[in-house]
Amino acid sequence: MIARAGAGPLRRLVVLRHAKSAWPEGVADHERPLAPRGRRDAPAAGRALAEADCLPDLALCSTALRARSTWELASAQWGTPPPARFDPRLYAAGVPDLLRVVHEVLPEVETLLLLGHNPGLAELVLDLARDGLDDTLEVVRRKFPTSAIAILSWHGTGWQALTPGTALLTSVTVPRGKRRGKA
């Protein structure tokens, strides 16, 4: 159970791990581009969010090139992308830093997309989820691969009320784009 009715509007935190990145020699980690698979998977993540009727009101994105590129390709799948904030604190962030950034979000935002990196994102999902539908928690415990999307739902009057154990993990998906010539 999340929170009692009347504890505030239903809110959703959409956690998206960046798509598969390349490892070019001599390129700093922060500047690593997407790999070909990442360029296929990022649009698939955008389509999956649209199909799930889970488009965000605001996106918070790491400043790393692979995260920014994932955002560009995913959000291009929607008619009008929401505003996005590129925050350097999300690069290689742990749970406390991720929560600090989320807690700064204005209460008008009901669906927030957080786009960044592991292991911080998987740990955040597991910390926030009191429970999960079906086997969603076990899926995240096993692996939260590139392009994975976790959707957490909770009731609250503002994002500051989102604390460990207050959300329900409603879904976990790992969208994959099709290779050219593959059905």
Which structural domain, as residue segments, surrounds residue 84? 10-173
Supply the pLDDT for residue 9. 87
Residue 40 in any domain: the answer is yes
Residue 2 in any domain: the answer is no
Residue 178 in any domain: the answer is no
Q: 10 Å Cβ neighbour count for 183? A: 4
Residue 14 in any domain: the answer is yes
The tens place of each residue's pLDDT in the chain, 183 residues long, gives 333 444 788 999 999 999 999 999 999 999 999 999 999 999 999 999 999 999 999 999 999 999 999 999 999 999 999 999 999 999 999 999 999 999 999 999 999 999 999 999 999 999 999 999 999 999 999 999 999 999 999 999 999 999 999 999 999 999 998 876 655
Please, are residues 90 and 101 in contact by the beta-carbon 8 Å criterion?
Answer: yes
Q: What is the CATH number of the domain that holds 89?
A: 3.40.50.1240
Number of domains in the chain: 1
Supply the pLDDT for residue 182. 56
85/63 Cα distance (integer angstroms): 9
Please, are residues 152 and 165 in contact by the beta-carbon 8 Å criterion?
Answer: no
Residue 26 in any domain: the answer is yes
Supply the pLDDT for residue 4. 44
Residue 179 in any domain: the answer is no
